[in-house]
Amino acid sequence: MHQNPWCIFFRTKTGHGERGRCLKEEIKLLIELQGFDSEIRRINIRKNELPGARERLDEELQRFEEAFDQRRKRTEDLQKTHRDREKDLKSGLESVKKAKSRLLEVKTNKEYEAMLKEIDTFNQKNSAIEDEILNLLEENENAGGELRTMERELEEVRARHDREVKALDEEIISLDIFLTAMAAKQQGTRKKIDPEILKKYDLIREKRNGQAVVAARKEVCSGCHMNIPPQMYNELQTYEKLYVCPSCNRIIYWENTDNGA
Ligand SMILES: [Zn+2]
């Protein structure tokens, strides 16, 4: 009666096996165990994601801080340029003043004209500096406004970063608590399952990406969505044999979808 290659477990008595439990109950325990194992797997995947998530948050903040520092540096440079130009203008005006006083001391007309030309050159230079200062004043004002806006944004980015880091830390703690609870339940259920079945379950789970037990509904395996041979599907409903899906090799059990499905 064991000829079917997809039958992995068989009990002569449908009512009670050697451990006093019928196959239907073993399947119930397998489904339960699969639920715990899937949860544990999900938690561990999430736990592995957390350090990366934390790193991304830190990087985001760091990028913003660097951009802010650059902006501040540019603003300071602009202010320094402004101060320098003010100094230039002051010394330029000083030069005009000196030249004008020397104008009174010149002896010849030629000297006088040369001096006037010099004064004119100074005035032109000063006028150019004044224009530059006006532009710098405006640029400084804009830069200062932008810097203050960015400073407020930086505060928001910092606050959000701290909030999200705190949430991640809390998540790690709650995941660990959940994981401990799930592991205890998993061990409890494992102890109840027939060792022979458990061994197969572990083997299949390892090969099938964590999913060893899947429902069969309407002659279709919910693990791989392939059809299940009709005779096998009928036998699933008697709970006399434990079958694996002929397509994906996962343990299948019959899930009644006739009512309200
Ligand atoms: Zn399948």
Residues 82-137 pLDDT 10s: 999 999 999 999 999 999 999 888 899 999 999 999 999 999 999 999 999 999 99
pLDDT tens readout for residues 165-184 = 999 999 999 999 999 999 99
Ligand 1: distance of its center to the CA of 176 in Å?
A: 33
Claim to verify: residue 80 and residue 156 sit in the same structural domain: yes
End of a domain among 166, 192, 218?
Answer: 192
Range of the domain at 10: 1-21+194-261
pTM (2 d.p.): 0.74
End of a domain among 144, 172, 192?
Answer: 192
Ligand 1: distance of its center to the CA of 210 in Å?
A: 14
End of a domain among 165, 192, 219?
Answer: 192
Q: How many CB atoms lie within 10 A of CB 258?
A: 7
Low-confidence ranges of the chain (pLDDT < 50): 1, 14-17, 260-261
CATH number of the domain within which 149 lies? 1.10.287.1490
Ligand 1: distance of its center to the CA of 241 in Å?
A: 17
| pLDDT at residue number 8 | 82
Claim to verify: residue 181 and residue 216 sit in the same structural domain: no
| pLDDT at residue number 13 | 52
How many domains, the chain? 2
Ligand 1: distance of its center to the CA of 17 in Å?
A: 27
Ligand 1: distance of its center to the CA of 247 in Å?
A: 5
Claim to verify: residue 47 and residue 166 sit in the same structural domain: yes
Claim to verify: residue 77 and residue 176 sit in the same structural domain: yes
Ligand 1: distance of its center to the CA of 177 in Å?
A: 34
Residue at 31 is within a domain: no
Claim to verify: residue 63 and residue 153 sit in the same structural domain: yes
Provide CB contacts within 8 A for 98, sequence distance 6+.
none
Ligand 1: distance of its center to the CA of 13 in Å?
A: 27
Q: List the beta bridge partners of residue 220.
A: 217, 227
Provide CB contacts within 8 A for 192, sequence distance 6+.
29
Claim to verify: residue 224 and residue 161 sit in the same structural domain: no
Ligand 1: distance of its center to the CA of 228 in Å?
A: 8
| pLDDT at residue number 14 | 47
